[in-house]
């Protein structure tokens, strides 16, 4: 039995570790469930240089969701994956993994095992010191960066800095540079021509260094197409390669379908998604990709009434995806409601979907999103402007900064300033009493 002083000392040592338990990651239930599905969709193909990092993050997610046995299993798989990838039984890449295991055993009440992993961390750090005295080991920076890339926009910016530090100390790790450049593509201000030009050059170099990375190639095509380049032939060539790869959210199929949808043709994007599904009919990730293509066609590229077979296929795919992703299909549910409503296919079913969402036990951030979507649904499809205003108020009332809140407040101010609604006085009073988060 540990004394209070010993327990406090152990806690302080654990807090000083570099691992998922100390990186201040977002751990709301909705985010964890979404992340769990995302990590499962990456797959576990041999040769994936991030496999150890994937298992480490999956272990942390499972722990936070309450599945401690799964967590330990994933942490153990991470160690095995690192051993195969690095072709060595130990190295600095295990510092984060051992830190995770130290925390896990601490939470399970096994302080002796927790202390044992702390000792292993210390041994590794002494045996493999950082090349730079005042910085963490590049392996730690790289794993922290890769992990933060799965988080908020602010943490994605942090990730870029950590990748830069890792690459500066160990420039021969091609996958680190690829992920660094991909991270920049997520945070780049596409309106800033200087940033875009710099990113295009970085992507070009990264693609030369990592020519077999189809995910990078697809994102590079997207950025070039966004800025006016003709990329159709290259897109078709890339599609042939992507379809030969194992199914994974890292295979490049999703960004490639985006290129097809907006810069080739939406019908060819659907054909490509259906071709992938013919080869892998049971892959849920491909069904999600295909459902998105059909949504884009029906909601954004609809010039005339689509054929019933197209609408039915879109609906059936969305229903399958919702069933296959029971914990992270909010967007698909809202998309399905939009398809029903916009095509006047079934207003009752659209309303039913929203009512089920509205009656769910939701976190504030998710509530904001649903209230915002429902406010627009009421205005555009139900011609219920009063109900729409009420839901914009619900969005704004939730004291959480978000684009949904910002948009709803902006909408309410526009309605007030136009002065045409009989709710103007009520809106004015609401806005005057609104508290900033």
Residue 199 neighbours by CB under 8 Å, 6+ apart: 181, 184, 185, 188, 223
Mean pLDDT of 76-105: 96
Q: What per-residue confidence (pLDDT) applies to 6? A: 62
**Measured distance CA(220)–CA(202) in Å, rounded:** 10
Question: DSSP secondary structure string, 222-240?
Answer: HHHHHTT---HHHHHHHHH
Q: Which stretch of 91-95, 265-269, 340-344 has the lowest confidence by average pLDDT?
A: 340-344
Question: DSSP secondary structure string, 308-364?
Answer: HHHHHHHHHHHHHHHHH-TTS-HHHHHHHHHHHHHTTS-HHHHHHHHHHHHTS---H
Give the residue among 209, 56, 221 at the shortest CA–CA distance from 146: 56
Q: What are phi and psi of 230, to 5 degrees?
A: -85, 115
Predicted confidence (pLDDT) at residue 1 exceeds the cutoff of 60: no
Q: What per-residue confidence (pLDDT) applies to 159? A: 95
Structural contact between residues 263 and 229, judged by C-beta atoms closer than 8 angstroms = no
Largest CA distance in the chain: 75
Mean pLDDT of 62-91: 96
Predicted confidence (pLDDT) at residue 3 exceeds the cutoff of 80: no
Q: What per-residue confidence (pLDDT) applies to 128? A: 96
Domain boundaries, the chain: 4-128, 361-437
Q: In 3-state terms, what secondary structure has residue 180? A: helix
**Measured distance CA(145)–CA(163) in Å, rounded:** 6
Predicted confidence (pLDDT) at residue 153 exceeds the cutoff of 90: no
Predicted confidence (pLDDT) at residue 333 exceeds the cutoff of 90: yes
Q: What per-residue confidence (pLDDT) applies to 305? A: 79
pLDDT in tens, 232-290: 999 999 999 999 989 999 999 999 999 999 999 999 999 999 999 999 999 999 999 99
Q: What per-residue confidence (pLDDT) applies to 437? A: 76
pLDDT in tens, 160-216: 999 999 999 999 999 999 999 999 998 888 888 899 999 999 999 999 999 999 999
Q: What per-residue confidence (pLDDT) applies to 8? A: 67
Predicted confidence (pLDDT) at residue 9 exceeds the cutoff of 90: no
Residue 132 neighbours by CB under 8 Å, 6+ apart: 169
**Measured distance CA(42)–CA(44) in Å, rounded:** 7
Q: What per-residue confidence (pLDDT) applies to 190? A: 82
| pTM (predicted TM-score) | 0.93
Structural contact between residues 57 and 20, judged by C-beta atoms closer than 8 angstroms = yes
CATH code of 4-128, in short, is 1.25.40.10
């Amino acid at each position: 039995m540990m004394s209070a002083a010993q327990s406090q000392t152990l806690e302080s040592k654990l807090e000083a570790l570099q691992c998922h338990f100390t990186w201040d990651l977002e751990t709301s239930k909705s985010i964890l469930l979404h992340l769990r599905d995302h990590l499962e969709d990456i797959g576990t193909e041999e040769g994936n240089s991030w496999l150890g990092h994937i298992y480490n993050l999956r272990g942390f997610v499972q722990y936070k969701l309450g599945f401690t046995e799964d967590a330990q299993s994933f942490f153990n798989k991470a160690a095995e994956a690192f051993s195969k990838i690095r072709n060595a039984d130990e190295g600095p890449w295990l510092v984060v993994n051992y830190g995770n295991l130290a925390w896990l055993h601490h939470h399970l009440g096994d302080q002796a095992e927790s202390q044992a992993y702390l000792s292993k961390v210390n041994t590794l750090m002494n045996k493999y010191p950082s090349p730079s005295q005042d910085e963490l080991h590049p392996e730690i920076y790289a794993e922290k960066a890769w992990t933060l890339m799965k988080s908020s926009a602010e943490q994605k910016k942090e990730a870029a800095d950590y990748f830069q530090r890792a690459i500066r100390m160990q420039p021969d790790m091609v996958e680190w540079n690829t992920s660094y450049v991909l991270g920049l593509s997520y945070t780049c201000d596409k309106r800033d021509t200087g940033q875009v030009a710099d990113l295009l050059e970085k992507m070009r170099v990264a693609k030369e260094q990592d020519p077999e990375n189809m995910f990078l190639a697809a994102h590079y095509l997207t950025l070039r197409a966004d800025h006016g380049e003709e990329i159709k032939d290259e897109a078709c060539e890339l599609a042939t390669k992507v379809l030969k790869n194992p199914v994974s959210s890292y295979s490049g199929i999703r960004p490639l379908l985006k290129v097809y949808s907006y810069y080739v043709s939406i019908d060819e994007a659907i054909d490509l998604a259906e071709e992938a599904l013919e080869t892998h009919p049971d892959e849920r990730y491909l069904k999600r990709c295909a459902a998105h293509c059909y949504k884009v066609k029906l909601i954004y590229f609809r010039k005339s009434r689509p054929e019933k077979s197209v609408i039915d296929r879109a609906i059936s795919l969305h229903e399958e995806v919702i069933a296959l992703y029971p914990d992270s299909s909010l967007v698909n549910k809202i998309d399905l409601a939009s398809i029903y409503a916009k095509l006047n296919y079934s207003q009752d079913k659209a309303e039913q979907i929203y009512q089920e969402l509205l009656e769910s036990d939701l976190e504030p951030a998710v509530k904001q999103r649903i209230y915002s979507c429902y406010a627009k649904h009421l205005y555009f499809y139900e011609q219920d402007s009063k109900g729409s205003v009420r839901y914009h108020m619900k969005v704004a009332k939730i004291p959480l900064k978000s684009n949904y809140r910002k948009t709803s407040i902006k909408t309410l101010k526009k309605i007030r300033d136009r002065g045409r609604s009989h709710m103007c006085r009520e809106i004015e009073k609401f806005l005057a009493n609104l508290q900033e988060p």
